[in-house]
A and B are shown apart, each in its own frame.
Chain A
Amino acid sequence: MDFDLSEEQQSFVSIVRSFVDDAIRPNAERWDLEEELPLDAVKQMADLGLFGLPFPERYGGAGADLVTLCLAIEEIARVDSSLAITLEAAVGLGAMPIYRFGTEEQKNTWLPSLVSGNALAGYGLTEPGGGSDAGATRTTAILEGDEWLINGSKSFITNSGTPITSLVTITAITDKGGDAKEISAIIVPAGTPGFEVGPAYRKMGWHHSDTHELAFGDCRVPQANLLGRRGDGLRNFLSILDDGRIAIAALAVGLAQGCLDECLSYAGERRAFGRVIGGYQAISFKIADMATKTELARTAYQKAAWLKSKGRPYTKQAAMAKLFASETAVEVARDAVQVHGGYGYIEEFPVCRHFRDSKILEIGEGTSEIMRMLIARELKLPST
């Protein structure tokens, strides 16, 4: 048994932390207000090699494991969830499907710029009527000659409309009707005629993460843009989400840790009734609970990531980590606002933003309900 990070991981964490303190912390509040992905920050994260962490060196990556990627996401999320999800989605949802399911030619075409962080890719699974019911895909892709003719729409697609977005991979029905529904994944390059990016959503949180609705109207892409085997699209996409869940758990832990850090400093300074409020059990017990849940959530995501790195089954642990960490983040952020009192409701205090940013964690990349369903399935409970 060994809970230590490697020496390299420890140095990396301290470097990412100082980067976040220097380059992100002073700007996070302003970016949140501006509601636009700060491309200069993305560039700085790219220079640090963050977008290439889990990919092999032959595509320009660092060959790191999932634990290391999660550590980086956690560090960023302590301060800025929008940039943390930008990284998580860029790596886990944007580049990873190309790396895992792409042909060598597709990888050589698309991966280097994604891995270097010079480009971002979106992952179009969810549809207006889909969400948790991921298989309810209605977007269609019909093979006409040597082109796919795509029609339909996608919702809540991260990194899909930035000036550096190079592509979106989408799921679409590729069968010709009949009983067996065939869903495949297809790469749609940005700027393809018929591929329309809707206006940015007005979101509760994750303000400077780039999220759009996408519309495809008689959009044509080459047949060679099929990603993975025809008919494997949904299964492949769902398997991508297992890793994504661990990374979201890491993001949730970062947010919770950020709230905890803020509370520790606030409760040590703010005085009421003649002493600092951290001296009152009403506050100190709350903070003790916050710290405990955060630490357990961290252990959960790191174990799930470690299982994955060892090539062992991890679906159950990933779902548990995502469920526990995201609910922890929401609870911790809510309590952090309470510890801050009225100031917690004011945007100058980071816990205010953290609270707004936390809720989506119980929804995105598999809701808490879907996590419980997956865990129950892993426990071999009767299926409904």
Chain B
Amino acid sequence: MNVVVCVKHVPDPNAPVEIQDNRIKRTGVQNVLDPGDMYGIEAGLLLREALGGEVTVISMGPVQAVEAIKRALSMGADRGVMISDDALTGADSLVTARVLAAAIRRAGFDLVIAGVESTDGYTGTMPSSLAEFLGLPQVTFAKRLSASASSVTVDRQTASGYHVVECSLPALVTVTAGVNEPRYPSFKGIMAAKKKPLEHLTLDHLGMSAADAEVEQEIVQISAVDERKSGTRVANDEAAARIADLLAEAKAI
């Protein structure tokens, strides 16, 4: 089972987001491997441990984003592919999907894993676009994932519960936080990561040109979300009935 995991270097989610020219400021801030991607990496490692094969980690971004790949390699991934190109500065999720598709096709795979969405832009559209470019069936929102040599079985989170979906390979799966418990890299893992194959690619290597990286999306405005309203306090003596009403209002029961 050869697994490709898509990862992203994002501004540290624990720091306040800075917006510059309608974009998230990415330079001069602390960037980290997207915490949401750790679940995808762990899922890849677990499948490799169960079924053999290799885990390849792919990322597109500025050169320093290779740190995200290195982190994945220290967790135990086998090889890394980093795509950096000046023409990709400001790429949107569609361009990203197109470029990643080319790199993934080149790397070879049975299964592609991505997080449901990144912890910076949160568009959540990249994995689906990627599946389309690769001509793959996609199973999104996996909260549990297992596989055989020829198929994956996924518990797919829905608003009211989950679907059990079986899908033949090759396929693309997006994983939610909680699908597993990502391991911490050990010092041995960090040292071993230095010796693992890590390719640096440009658009040229992928047979693509700046025209393929043309951004057609325009961001008109970014505004802050409304602050979450405070909750409702329910007194003890009326609790059961009142909570039932609230759940009914929320259409949860």
Contact = CB atoms under 8 A, between A and B. Distances in A.
Interface of A: 8, 11-12, 15, 18-19, 47-49, 52-53, 57, 61-64, 68
B184 interface: yes
Interface string B182-204: 01111111110010000000000
Contact of B187 (A18, A47, A68): A68
A8 B190 contact: yes
Q: What are the nearest 3 A-B pairs in CB distance?
A: A49-B186, A62-B188, A62-B187
Contacts of A52: 188
14 contacts: A8-B191, A11-B70, A12-B190, A15-B190, A47-B183, A49-B187, A49-B188, A49-B189, A53-B187, A61-B188, A62-B186, A62-B187, A63-B191, A64-B191
B188 A57 contact: yes
Chain A contact residues: helix, strand, loop or mixed: helix
B187 A64 contact: yes
A49 B188 CA distance: 8
Contacts of A8: 187, 190-191, 194
Interface in B146-190: 183-190
Interface string B62-75: 00000000110010
A48 B186 contact: yes
Contacts of B185: 11, 15
A54 B46 CA distance: 28
Contact of B191 (A47, A48, A62): A62
A11 B190 contact: yes
A11 B74 contact: yes
A50 to B, nearest CB: 8
A84 to B, nearest CB: 17
Contacts of A15: 184-185, 190
A61 B23 CA distance: 45
Nearest to B75: A15
A65 to B, nearest CB: 10
B190 A48 contact: no
Contact of A12 (B70, B183, B187, B194): B187
A162 B6 CA distance: 43
A87 to B, nearest CB: 13
Nearest to B194: A8
Contact of A48 (B70, B71, B184, B194): B184
B30 to A, nearest CB: 10
A129 B70 CA distance: 53
Nearest to A60: B188
A53 B191 CA distance: 12
Given A49-B186, A62-B191, 16 more contacts: A8-B191, A8-B194, A11-B70, A11-B185, A12-B187, A15-B185, A15-B190, A19-B184, A47-B184, A48-B184, A49-B188, A52-B188, A53-B187, A61-B188, A62-B186, A64-B187
Contacts of A49: 186-189
A15 B71 CA distance: 10
B186 to A, nearest CB: 3
Nearest to A16: B184
A19 B191 CA distance: 18
A19 B70 CA distance: 18
